[in-house]
Chains A and B, each alone.
Chain A
Amino acid sequence: NAGVTQTPKFRVLKTGQSMTLLCAQDMNHEYMYWYRQDPGMGLRLIHYSVGEGTTAKGEVPDGYNVSRLKKQNFLLGLESAAPSQTSVYFCASIQGGSNGGYTFGSGTRLTVV
């Protein structure tokens, strides 16, 4: 089925470890986004990309890096995980402009101990 796939769905990391979250979409969407969701805070934008090879910072980018080497994939990296990065991470994509539909992945629940 067409959509946005996030891997992994769950992960537990130790403080200082690194990991990469993968977001893959098969709808040929131009724009992709990474959000984190924390209780009482809603979803906050970490980084976004408006096309292959481009990335930009969102509201809460510190501690994260991203890459968009292929149009269909948007990777979110944590170089040295901290407990404050314990969160649920959502990826989303859209063709371009905001009139259309934003497609969200099912989320990755990350715990840093």
Chain B
Amino acid sequence: AQSVTQLGSHVSVSEGALVLLRCNYSSSVPPYLFWYVQYPNQGLQLLLKYTSAATLVKGINGFEAEFKKSETSFHLTKPSAHMSDAAEYFCAAASEQAGTALIFGKGTTLSVSS
């Protein structure tokens, strides 16, 4: 069955450090892939999406992600973390079935310390 795996339920970085959030997908064909951010008690906000146009995708707030077919990965990075980046991040893939519903990973909570 199609799935999305986020490695690390909790990642802690210092302000100014590199942010790396890992995401791997399993699918018979490369799906469309997404990263969402959720701040406490809020809804989901789209950070970026991969739709096969380019393997390096730039998103909002300085985040970017690289699609690597050989590794079935779509890791999210940001060169320099800000305190405001502290949130929960979800990787998602568009389902091959289920009416193209998004299949979500379990999420990674990012903490940023000063």
CB <8 Å contact, B43 and A45: no
User: For the complex, what is the distance from the CA of A58 to the CA of B95, rounded to whole Å?
Assistant: 11
- A 102-113 to B, binary, CB cutoff 8 A, 1 in contact else 0: 101111000000
Contact of A45 among B32, B44, B101 (CB under 8 A): B101
CB closest residue in chain A, given B91: A42
- A 14-45 to B, binary, CB cutoff 8 A, 1 in contact else 0: 00000000000000000101010000111111
Neighbouring A residues of B102 by C-beta, 8 Å? 33, 43, 45, 92, 98, 102
Give how many B residues have a beta carbon under 8 Å from the other chain's beta carbons.
23
Contact of B104 among A43, A48, A96 (CB under 8 A): A43
| B54: interface (CB < 8 Å) | no
Smallest beta-carbon distance A56→chain B, Å: 7
- B 8-40 to A, binary, CB cutoff 8 A, 1 in contact else 0: 010000000000000000000001101000000
CB <8 Å contact, B106 and A98: no
CB closest residue in chain B, given A97: B100
Contact of B90 among A43, A94, A106 (CB under 8 A): A43
CB <8 Å contact, A56 and B43: no
Give how many A residues have a beta carbon under 8 Å from the other chain's beta carbons.
27
CB <8 Å contact, A48 and B98: yes
User: For the complex, what is the distance from the CA of A42 to the CA of B46, rounded to whole Å?
Assistant: 15
Neighbouring B residues of A105 by C-beta, 8 Å? 43
| B51: interface (CB < 8 Å) | yes
- Scan residues 87-104 of chain B and give those whose CB is less than 8 A from a CB of chain A: 90, 92, 94, 98-104
Smallest beta-carbon distance A33→chain B, Å: 5
Q: What are 26 contact pairs spanning A and B, CB under 8 A?
A: A31-B101, A33-B99, A33-B102, A40-B9, A40-B106, A40-B107, A42-B90, A42-B104, A42-B107, A43-B90, A43-B102, A43-B104, A45-B98, A45-B101, A45-B102, A48-B101, A58-B101, A90-B44, A98-B31, A98-B94, A98-B100, A98-B102, A99-B32, A99-B51, A102-B102, A106-B43
Q: Which 8 A-B pairs have the closest CB atoms?
A: A98-B94, A42-B104, A98-B100, A42-B106, A43-B104, A50-B99, A106-B43, A98-B32
